[in-house]
Amino acid sequence: MATSDADETRSKMKSKRYEKELRKLQTELCRLQEWVKHKGLRVMVIFEGRDAAGKGGTIKAITERVSPRVFRLVALPAPSDRERTQMYLQRYMQHFPAAGEVVIFDRSWYNRAGVERVMGFCSEEEYQRFLQNCPVVEKYIVDGGIMLIKFWLEVSKKEQQRRFEARIDDPMRQWKLSPMDIESWTRWYDYSRARDAMLEATDTENAPWYIVRSDDKKRARLNCIAHLLSLIPYEEVPREEVRLPKRSSEGKYDDRAAIEGRKFVPEKY
């Protein structure tokens, strides 16, 4: 589970190589997207991991070149008072994919096995019931025709500290550092034990966990996307050649002159 010393000392991937490899993988994601639509597949991808492990950046790398109508992101806030009275999985199930959709969960029902367990937001009985029932529910999901893929992003203590400290000093990243993040820093080993118990109970043949070492964010993103593509058999869908037709003729109508005098954004750059 832990990142090895060799991984920690491995040189970071250069941006030029990263961008080149990312473009290749994003091209394949676009091909996968067409296949998912063509075949009416239902795919669900779960991202979990330690705070500052790079889940958001990995999800962005997956979704930035595909259609949000096909690759749909779900990042639920804390449950409302009404949702707290529902069956635990109920608020997640309404976001499950329909035909031709890939739903990505940025955090999921595994909150119960992680933050809720560590921070005492659920009872011991609720926690044990979750670990017992989760594999059963996930088997039902998979048997129902949904492809369920689960990624856990693992970051080392040293790298997590570096990222937290960077968030403290960077105005564009300060919003990422919440009181809950600070608390998770102090409870590193509590989260480690919760992670291990979660994997022991829910790493099943029907819905296995795939662990991504994420000390190097660029490598982690590429490795994760490449593995995601390998898990979903797909083919390139033939496309008809598209040519732009001629625009309709409107005589001498000057459409540029028609908007002169309107309010334009000042060109400061």
User: Which tens digit of pLDDT belongs to each residue from 130-183?
Assistant: 999 999 999 999 999 999 999 999 999 999 999 998 988 888 888 888 888 888
Question: Rounded mean pLDDT of the chain?
Answer: 93
Q: What is the pLDDT of residues 223-261, one digit of tens each?
A: 999 999 999 999 999 988 999 998 887 667 888 888 999
C-alpha atoms less than 13 angstroms from C-alpha of 23 in its C-beta half-sphere:
5
Q: What does DSSP say about strands 209-213 and 101-106: parallel, antiparallel, or unpaired?
A: unpaired
pLDDT in the model for residue 59: 98
Residue 1 scores a pLDDT above 70:
no
- Write the CATH number for 37: 3.40.50.300
Residue 149 placed within a domain: yes
Residue 248 lies in a domain: no
Using one digit for the tens of pLDDT, what is the confidence trace for 85-117?
999 999 999 999 999 999 999 999 999 999 999
Q: How many domains are there within the chain?
A: 1
Contacts of 39 (CB under 8 A, 6+ apart): none
pLDDT, tens digit, 9 for 90 and up, residues 51-78: 999 999 999 999 999 999 999 999 999 9
* C-beta separation of 195 from 211 below 8 A: no
Is 240 inside any structural domain?
no
pLDDT, residue 2, reads 45
**265 domain residue, yes or no:** no
In a domain, 156, yes or no: yes
Strands (E), the chain: 42-49, 71-74, 101-106, 147-154, 209-213
Range of the domain at 135: 5-233
The answer to the question of residue 32 being in a domain is yes
* Contact partners, residue 175, CB within 8 Å, separation at least 6: none
Q: Helix, strand or coil for residue 155?
A: coil
**Is residue 47 in a domain?**
yes
pLDDT (0 to 100) of residue 8: 53
Residue 146 lies in a domain: yes
- Percent pLDDT > 70 in the chain is 96
pLDDT in tens, 192-201: 999 999 999 9
